[in-house]
Structure formats: C-alpha cells, structure tokens
Amino acid sequence: CGLEGLYDRSRAPYRQANKLPFQVERTILGIKKEHPSWGAPKIRDKLIRQYPMIPTPAISTIHAALDRNGLVKRRKRKRYRANGTALNGAKSPNGLWCADYKGEFMLGNRQYCYPLTISDYRSRYLLACEGLESTKSDFAFSVFERTFKDFGLPNAIRTDNGTPFASPCALFGLSKLSVWWLRLGINIQRIKPGHPQQNGRHERMHLTLKKEATKPAAFNFLQQQERFDDFTGVYNNERPHQALGGAYPGDVYTPSARVYQPPEEPEYPYHDRIIRVTRCGRICLGRRKINFSVVFAGQLVGIREVDTDIWQVSFLEYDLGYFDKEQDRVEPGPNPFAPDKVLTMCPE
C-alpha cells in the first residue's frame, strides 16, 4: 500500500519449525536444575511421562537447549576394553541381585562412610543403600537381613571377591556372609578378580550415586543416610532408565515370592555323622580336632567314610573336602563354587 509496498519484506518465516517453545525450554531447564546429572535422554523420558499433552522435542533438541544454557559438561571419551568371561543374568526380578561397597569417603565430621548397596539385576531397582562405619560382616548381616525381610529372597547374589562377601584365606574363598546365603538357598556368584565391569550395571549406579548423594559429603552418618534415602527414592521412582525403555525401576520390580525366614538346620541323611563346627573352625571327632574353616563356625556339617579311614566333609549339598586318620586338617576337594559352576547357578 503506497510507498510501504516498495519496501523489502522480512523473509523470516512466521513459524520456525525447529525453534523450541519458550515454555518447553523452561520446563527442560527446570528438570535439569532439579536433577543436575540427567542428560537429554532422561529429560525427554521425563517430559513424555509428566507432560504427555505437549509435543515432545527430540533428544538432540533438548541437548541443544542444555548446551545453549551452558549445562552440557564437555568431557573426553574414555576407551573401554571389555575383558573376562560372560556372566549369566536373570530375565525376571529377583533372579539375581548385585551387591557391593561404593568406595569409602570422609564425612564432614572426619568419619569414613562405607556405603553398602544392593540392586536387582533385571529391574535396576536399588534395594538398599546404607552408609556403614566399616565393611565388617556384622554390619552387612544387618543390612541384608533387613533387605530380605522387605523384599524376599533372590535366587542368586553377585559380588566381587572382597570382604565381607569373600574370604581370600578361607576354604574356596567363602565367608560367613556367603555361608549364610547358602543356608538361605541363595546361590553365590563372584566376578573375576580385577574385572568390575562384570558387575557393570551396579558400578554404573555407583557413579550416579557418587554424583548425586556424596558430592559434597554430609556432616555425619544421619545426614548422609538421609541423602542416600532421598537418592534411592528418586532413582527407583522418578528417574527414567534408558535400558528399561524410559521406565522407572519401580515400574519393573516386584518383591520376591520367596519369603525370608531363619534357615532350618541342615540334614544329612546319607552321612555317617553330623557334627557342629566349633567357634574356632574345627571338627571334633572323638578326641581328634580337625582344622576346617572358621567361616563355618556354628554350622552343622555331614561326615561320611568314603574309603577305608578316609572321610568326606559336606555342607548342605556341597562336598568340600577330605581328611584321614592321620591328618589334622581338611584337604579341599574339587571346588564346588568354581566360576564355571557358580556363574550358571542363576536361573534365567
């Protein structure tokens, strides 16, 4: 109209197809502020679940929005070399649990905290995260017993070879804790020494735990445990998991049908004698004292003569070793917990 019609018109489109609406970008930044360790994939899954009425932006769009606002941390890619043997997992919850201690760290009051964590292999559900004063067996017993009471029993538990899960100097590397698991009908799995990637799902959770609940550390155990409890709630029921298709671990996990109860004393109907191991780990046979293993202290074992003056020692269904009339110690037999056997015990 008039002279204005001679002016160049703006060539900018009325709508910019790739421009993120302000309200959506603000929501993305709000989620990132609430959960600083979350990346674009988890934020997108959160948007889908929490705001199903708005068009969900692509992962790359969300990442670009974070980058524009200085919320993307640049880091060098680390080379990863897989090694070791494959481990059999579980296709349903409670087929396999994973347990480990996240590395110790110092609290504000100068005490060291040793977080014991237990997770379900299939659902990634974090069953327990307890800050302990040490890795002593007594503390671990309490945590596992409480977890068993809350969630039931798994078919197997996978750990590393450290204390209190294993005892390097004991028979077949067993510990009092793993002997208790066997009594409860729980199979044991141990990763290859020096190969934490064989418990990779659990280790990955530890990285998230470290970032969100220990940096910086709380002043004392009570305050630190509150952080662990808050982290557990978010991890299980608010944090989408890519390996679960964006679902929460709490959506997938269900408690075990195997209810925890103190184990009954084992029976040995095919053995000649049943003997209770002494507190110092010995088998007393008449006046003889046969050195066995302190990790079996207080446990009932079966003794049977398999040849002339040669006796076999069994615990539950496991044949552990032999002694004769001249030896004062049990000689180990074939290892019933060897990796090729232990790692196939967990049912699919």
Q: What residues does each domain of the chain span?
A: 18-79, 97-252, 273-342
**Furthest-apart CA atoms within the chain: distance in Å:** 121
| CA within 13 Å, CB half, 31 | 27
Which residue is associated with the tokens 């709380």? 218
What letter would DSSP give residue 216? S
Q: What is the DSSP string of 221-281?
A: HHHHHHHHHHHHHHHHHTS--GGGTT--HHHH----SS---PPPPP--TTSSEEEEPPTTS
CATH class assigned to 97-252: alpha beta
- Answer yes or no: are the C-beta atoms of 105 and 213 closer than 8 Å: no
**What are the beta bridge partners of residue 284?**
289
What distance in Å separates the CA atoms of residue 145 and residue 148, rounded to the nearest whole number? 5
What is the three-class DSSP state of 51? coil
Amino acid at 237: N
Chain centroid to CA 74: how far? Answer: 29
CA 245 vs CA 44, 48, 50: distances in Å: 12, 12, 15
Give the list of residues 6+ apart from residue 335 with CB closer than 8 angstroms, or none: 172
Q: What is the pLDDT of residue 86?
A: 31
Decide: residue 101, CB within 10 A, 0-12 exposed, 13-18 middle, 19+ buried.
Answer: buried
Which pTM value belongs to this model?
0.78
Where helices occur in 171-220 by DSSP H, the ranges are 176-183, 200-213
What is the three-class DSSP state of 24? helix
Dihedral-angle region of residue 173 (phi above 0 means left; psi in -120 to 50 means alpha; beta otherwise): left
Where helices occur in 123-172 by DSSP H, the ranges are 137-151
Q: Which two tokens stand for residue 308?
A: 């002339």
Q: What is the pLDDT of residue 74?
A: 59
Which residue is associated with the tokens 């202290």? 297
Is the bond preceding 336 in cis, omega lying within 30 degrees of 0?
A: no
What is the three-class DSSP state of 22? helix
Which residue is associated with the tokens 């590393």? 160
CA 158 vs CA 14, 169, 293: distances in Å: 59, 20, 23
Q: What is the pLDDT of residue 55?
A: 85
CATH 1.10.10 fits 18-79, yes or no: yes
Pick from 193, 262, 205: nearest CA to 235: 205
Decide: residue 36, CB within 10 A, 0-12 exposed, 13-18 middle, 19+ buried.
Answer: exposed
Low-confidence ranges of the chain (pLDDT < 50): 10-17, 77-86, 341-348
